[in-house]
């Protein structure tokens, strides 16, 4: 890719994204520069990723053709205020924070800027991320396509309407946390039946991975796949029946509602 990539903030998410771009061969580490607060993170980023590092957000803003704002949501507007005079004219700004709209970003820059709002997740660290994307009207189809390619280097990408963006943390941004809880609970169940702890984690995690692949690769309805595993009077339907009695699906839906409510509340602040 013939573009210079900048990261303001180089924490867990930025590292996952930069790692994917570099490992896929799409971006040369020399074409990436990142700024962060501490000398410790700068030394780590330089050694582990071979990218350029700087204590100056303004320097990185002036370097980048594609600029990721990878700081905490509450730091966004202070960072934009700091760099707004330094960005290149046609820079593509990429946001990764829940609740911050493309209009918020345009207003903060005080001018028309190209903004792509995204919501990634941490499985990006292992190249299996899920990133939802929506662009403002300044972004051309060609630019959106090149951003999709960049984000596709660490997982799957879905383009959605910005009005649906607040729904994304609950379904793919935060949901790895619920799945980890499920894997942990399944492993506890295995240990309770006498399986070794480490083997239980492997068995449970691989079952979750395989089930997800079945949904994605067969294109079958999850209910149909569930029906295929449940023989009449068998053990699986006994488990399914208990999950229904314990309101498993209701608990997942309620958790997602709480997540979305919180995202909206954070966006209003
Ligand atoms: N983690 C997730 O699952 C996830 C998922 C989707 C979206 N996000 C979003 O991604 C963003 C980053 O999250 P994260 O988990 O990567 O956070 P993180 O690990 O805490 O990293 C934050 C980074 O920002 C740097 N930083 C803080 N203030 C700064 C400033 N004023 N100027 C420049 N750099 C500054 C920190 O530098 P030092 O390292 O030097 O302290 C650190 O590198 C957040 O907006 C978050 O909501 C996260």
Q: Is the CB of 101 under 6 A from ligand 1?
A: no
Q: Give the per-residue pLDDT at 268.
A: 75
Contact 214, 226 (CB under 8 A): no
CA 131 to ligand 1 center in whole angstroms: 17
Strands (E), 99-174: 114-119, 129-135, 155-159
Is it true that 5-165 and 173-268 share their CATH fold? Answer: no
Per-10-residue mean pLDDT, the chain, length 269? 93 93 94 97 96 97 98 94 96 94 96 96 92 97 96 96 96 97 98 98 98 97 97 97 98 97 84
Q: Which CATH number fits domain 173-268: 3.40.630.30, 1.10.3730.10, 3.40.1190.20, 3.10.580.10?
A: 1.10.3730.10
CA 36 to ligand 1 center in whole angstroms: 9
Nearest atom of ligand 1 to the alpha carbon of 13 = 16
190: left (phi over 0), alpha (psi -120 to 50) or beta: alpha
Q: Which residues pair with 215 in a beta bridge?
A: none
How many CA atoms lie within 13 Å of 18's alpha carbon, on the beta-carbon side? 33
Q: Is the CB of 38 under 6 A from ligand 1?
A: yes
Domain ranges of the chain: 5-165, 173-268
> 92 to each of 53, 75, 107, 203, how far by Cα in Å?
20, 19, 15, 43
* Alpha-carbon span 7 to 9, nearest angstrom: 6
Q: Give the per-residue pLDDT at 99.
A: 87
CA 1 to ligand 1 center in whole angstroms: 25
pTM: 0.92
- The yes or no reply on domain 5-165 and CATH 3.40.1010.10 is no
- Reference 53, options 68, 71, 70, 32; nearest CA is 32
- Reference 172, options 229, 238, 122; nearest CA is 122
Alpha helices in 134-247 (DSSP H): 141-151, 168, 175-192, 197-218, 222-229, 235-245
Q: Is the CB of 67 under 6 A from ligand 1?
A: no
* Alpha-carbon span 32 to 231, nearest angstrom: 54
Contact 24, 153 (CB under 8 A): yes
């Amino acid at each position: 890719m013939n573009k210079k990539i900048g990261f303001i903030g180089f924490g867990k998410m930025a590292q996952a994204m930069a790692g994917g771009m570099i490992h896929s061969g799409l971006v040369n580490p020399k074409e990436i520069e990142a700024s962060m607060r501490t000398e410790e993170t700068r030394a780590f980023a330089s050694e582990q990723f071979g990218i350029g590092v700087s204590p100056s957000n303004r320097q990185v803003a002036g370097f980048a053709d594609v600029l990721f704002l990878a700081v905490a949501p509450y730091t966004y507007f202070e960072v934009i205020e700091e760099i707004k005079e330094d960005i290149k004219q046609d820079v593509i700004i990429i946001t990764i924070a829940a609740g911050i709209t493309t209009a918020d970003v345009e207003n903060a820059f005080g001018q028309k800027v190209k903004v792509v709002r995204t919501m990634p997740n941490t499985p990006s660290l292992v190249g299996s991320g899920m990133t939802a994307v929506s662009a403002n009207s300044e972004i051309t189809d060609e630019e959106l396509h090149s951003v999709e390619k960049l984000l596709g280097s660490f997982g799957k990408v879905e383009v959605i309407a910005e009005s649906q963006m607040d729904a994304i943390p609950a379904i793919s941004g935060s949901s790895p946390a619920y799945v980890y809880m499920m894997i942990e609970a399944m492993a506890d169940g295995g240990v309770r039946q006498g399986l070794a702890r480490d083997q239980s984690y492997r068995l449970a995690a691989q079952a979750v991975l395989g089930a997800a692949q079945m949904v994605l690769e067969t294109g079958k309805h999850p209910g149909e796949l569930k029906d295929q595993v449940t023989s009449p009077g068998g053990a699986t339907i006994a488990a399914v029946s208990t999950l229904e009695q314990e309101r498993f699906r209701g608990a997942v839906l309620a958790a997602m509602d709480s997540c979305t409510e919180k995202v909206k509340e954070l966006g209003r602040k």
